[in-house]
Amino acid sequence: MLGTKVVAELSVRHGIEKFIFISTDKAVNPTSVMGATKRAGEELLKALNQQNKTKFISVRFGNVLGSRGSVVPLFMEQIKKRSAVTVTHPEMKRYFMIISEAVLLVLEASALGEGGEVFVLDMGEPVKIIDLAKEMIRLSGLEPDKDIPIVIGNIRPGEKLFEEVLSAEEGAEPTAYEKVLKVNSPDVFDSDALIKKIEILIKLSYQLHKKHEIMELLKEIVPQYNPMKYDMTIRNW
């Protein structure tokens, strides 16, 4: 949040025409701090867009294949070593996009954006991670669970089985660019109040003993944030 706010304010100060914020599908009904702060970033930029000449625009990424932190390089390394391929859960699904699609989404959003929008890419149907793992093993000339075992692990706190690109209160409409959609999300009506809350959140983040206050304020800023929802699901399996 601090980094987003600092760079956004510098963009205003130096008269930058457009600011493109890289958000994530984890910002939709977030269950992790990462997802919640990304959603707070989207809301912050909507608020700043109402008050300044700089046009603030957000884009929500899915999982970018081949990027740092992507599951694909991990699977490739495991297959190369003939070690077990680790999958978090057999039903886990994710939306995927390739690097060129991610770049085009940013460029097209910068061309389309007039300020305050959130754009997403139509990524088709989500893919089961276990199916991706099996296909990568086959593409390496090997057989899943014969030459390379697939090991099921555990879901980490705040991790979802299924990601979403739109929340229940949002809709999407087509744009001039194929596969790029504009999210219809509620506007920020009290931008000053939101910015003030985010400033308080940033100050609190330096005080680790105030974890409860930090979490409660984050829930105020992002009402959709539900850190316990998927923890309860895990306990009930």
What are φ and ψ of residue 163, in 5° steps?
-90, 160
DSSP category for residue 208? G
Left if phi > 0, otherwise alpha if psi is -120 to 50, otherwise beta: which for 155?
Answer: beta
Q: Which of 5, 26, 46, 197 is catalytic?
A: 26
C-beta separation of 6 from 199 below 8 A? no
How far apart (Å, rounded) are the C-alpha atoms in residues 216 and 91?
Answer: 31
Task: Report CA torsion sign: 4, 8, 14, 15.
Answer: positive
Secondary element (H or E) of residue 170: none
DSSP string computed for 210-234: GHHHHHHHHHHH-TT--TTHHHHHH
DSSP string computed for 109-163: HHHH--SS-EEEE---S-EEHHHHHHHHHHHTT--BTTTB-EEE--PPTT--SB-
Distances (CA, A) of 59 to 38, 102, 126, 204: 11, 9, 18, 27
Alpha-carbon dihedral 120, 205, 214, 192, rounded to 10 degrees: -60
Residue 229 annotated to the active site:
no
List active site positions.
Answer: 26
